Amino acid sequence: MMRAKRRLSTNEVFEEYARKNAKITMRKLDKNDVLIEGDRVALEFLGNLLLTCSASKEHSVNISPKGAGSARFTRESTLGIYIHRLPCPDREKERRVVPKRRAR
């Protein structure tokens, strides 16, 4: 019997691609476009990060060339990435809370 493959966490994706020295370039290309550039490993990192976020209990991940995750960016990068999955679990929790009735 085959075991189901365990899903990676976003931190595990970062660790795996740190070992492979994956680096992406993200910068504004022109008025309307953002350049996302990298070799096969770098683009694979970004793709796996997106896939992992889509299946993760985490609903958002933020990486920036000037903050957390900066080691995965080239020096030419000027933009970071904020990945946010919808529906937001925090918002769903708020909706499920039944408001207390006021005493009269």
Is the confidence at residue 104, as pLDDT, over 80? no
| C-alpha to C-alpha distance for 81 and 36, rounded to whole angstroms | 10
- Give the predicted TM-score (pTM) of the model: 0.77
Residue 102 has what pLDDT? 53
- Confidence band of 39 (pLDDT split at 50, 70, 90): very high
pLDDT one-digit tens code per residue, 46-59: 999 999 999 888 88
- The beta strands (E) that lie in the chain are given as 25-28, 34-37, 60-63, 81-84
